[in-house]
Amino acid sequence: MPDWNALRPEVEAVALRAGEETLRYFRKPLAQWTKAGPFDVVTEADKASEAVILPALRALLPEAALLSEESGASGDEGGLRWVVDPIDGTANFAAGMPYYSISIALADVAGQPVIGVVHNPAYGELFSAALGGGAALNGEPIHVSATPALAQSILLGGFSIYPELAKPQLRQWMALMQRTRGLRRMGSAALDLASVAAGRADGYWESSLSPWDVLAGLLLVQEAGGRISDFAARPDKLYSAKEMAVTNGAIHDELLAALAAAGDQGGL
């Protein structure tokens, strides 16, 4: 198996350079426009970050394909592939809120992430992981929380920008509000997953996600000792189901049961 841990610092360096680029635009007048709908925003900073990241990744592994939220797919998808979100949490960024991230993952032929880096430039936090090499925050090892029960947990989640998908998510929020210590909707899936990996939150769930939103963060959680599945407890169906539950492991079954119960309720 290749030594993914040896490549990890170079990917971290790319994320740090992209983070510096985004800070040039942060809380300043900003050109922005929409993509798939009125709430799906992209800014000139997304493009500037991507312009730093993609050439650097091509130089690191010329043979690897690329999938970036803003530029789409390029290269031969039959091998290694970089999966990039140049700014995850663009709406936060555009509003001047410091909860956004650069997310870079390298996936192998099977789609398994082997390197994952999530960087929050506003707070100077760099999360990274390599397959079999553990997860770290600014170079220090991190691990998921030891919270033993859903009733004691803090969970992170999100909502789709599409109303037909948001309705079942609202049912889930209503159900989990009654079963947890608290819910948070922060606005960056990559950072939410990093928070679970670091033990700051006990779990995360969401649906209607794209690989660039989560691939780096999923490796962080995996290497930090967490558990990942779709809502039916299948670890191998994450992208076909377009949904995921991510926890410290101890509360996973309880979370899945609560999500199933919310789905049975109907309404909204």
> 193-243 pLDDT, tens per residue?
999 999 999 999 998 788 999 999 999 999 999 999 999 998 876 655 578
Domains of the chain, by residue range, sit at: 4-141, 150-265
CATH code linked to domain 150-265: 3.40.190.80
Judged by average pLDDT, the poorest of 38-47, 117-126, 141-150, 189-198 is 38-47
Please report how the helices 189-197 and 211-223 are oriented relative to each other, as an axis angle in degrees rounded to 10.
Answer: 0
How far is Cα 101 from Cα 121, in angstroms, rounded to an integer?
7
Q: Is 213 exposed, middle or buried (0-12, 13-18, 19+ CB in 10 A)?
A: buried
Quote the pLDDT of residue 34. 73
Average pLDDT on 129-141 reads 97
Quote the pLDDT of residue 242. 76
Per-residue pLDDT at 82 exceeds 70: yes
Mean pLDDT of the chain: 91
Average pLDDT on 140-149 reads 98
Please report how the helices 252-265 and 163-177 are oriented relative to each other, as an axis angle in degrees rounded to 10.
Answer: 120
How far is Cα 4 from Cα 103, in angstroms, rounded to an integer?
17
Quote the pLDDT of residue 245. 95
Please report how the helices 4-23 and 44-60 are oriented relative to each other, as an axis angle in degrees rounded to 10.
Answer: 160
Average pLDDT on 19-34 reads 91
Confidence of residue 65 (pLDDT cuts 50, 70, 90): very high
Output 252 or 241, whichever has higher pLDDT.
Answer: 252
Quote the pLDDT of residue 267. 47
Assigned CATH topology for domain 4-141:
Fructose-1,6-Bisphosphatase; Chain A, domain 1 (3.30.540)
Looking up tokens 């942060």, which residue turns up?
26
Query: H/E element holding 104?
Result: strand 101-107
How far is Cα 180 from Cα 88, in angstroms, rounded to an integer?
26
Q: Quick check: 263 and 171 in contact, CB under 8 A?
A: yes
Quote the pLDDT of residue 42. 84
